[in-house]
Amino acid sequence: MGKKVFVERAVVDSILSYAQMFHPRESILLLKGKIDKKKIVVTDVQIPPLATHGSTFSGFPLSRLPIDFSVIGVAHSHPSGALRPSVTDLNKFYGRIMLITAYPYQSEQNIIILDRKGKPLKYAVI
Ligand SMILES: [Zn+2]
């Protein structure tokens, strides 16, 4: 059994509105938070340095990221509406969790969180 995942309400709102703003392009945000033995808590988002908002996730220069241990994963949007990871997404996994929000980005119904293996994780909004 994996760790429990919690996402602060303000983080969910930021991710949804950021995705809406960039639609139909793909948006990317870094997820910041805390990890302990039992849980992962996402408390903040950060606009990645040098992010390019192209139509694919490949526009994200992961190699240019500063080393920052409060970054626990990456959120990005799927303007196509597909609420599942692509092969590229899984190959580019960064951090502990990946969050995907799919069009129309209205609520947490349009968000999934995945582990490194691409398995959806249950999460709670707090
Ligand atoms: Zn993707």
Domains of the chain (ranges, CATH numbers):
4-125 (3.40.140.10)
Given pLDDT bands bounded at 50, 70 and 90, which one contains residue 60?
low
Determine the pLDDT at residue 52. Answer: 57
Distance 22 CA to ligand 1 centre (A): 14
Distance 44 CA to ligand 1 centre (A): 20
67: Cβ contacts below 8 Å, ≥ 6 apart = none
Distance 28 CA to ligand 1 centre (A): 10
Spatial strand order in the sheet of 4-7: 120-121, 111-114, 97-102, 71-78, 28-35, 39-46, 4-7, 123-125
User: Residue 4 to residues 29, 52, 95, 115: CA-CA distances in angstroms?
Assistant: 21, 31, 16, 11
Determine the pLDDT at residue 58. Answer: 46
Q: What is the pTM of this model?
A: 0.88
Using one digit for the tens of pLDDT, what is the confidence trace for 99-121?
A: 999 999 999 999 999 999 999 99
The residue among 67 and 95 whose pLDDT is bigger is 95
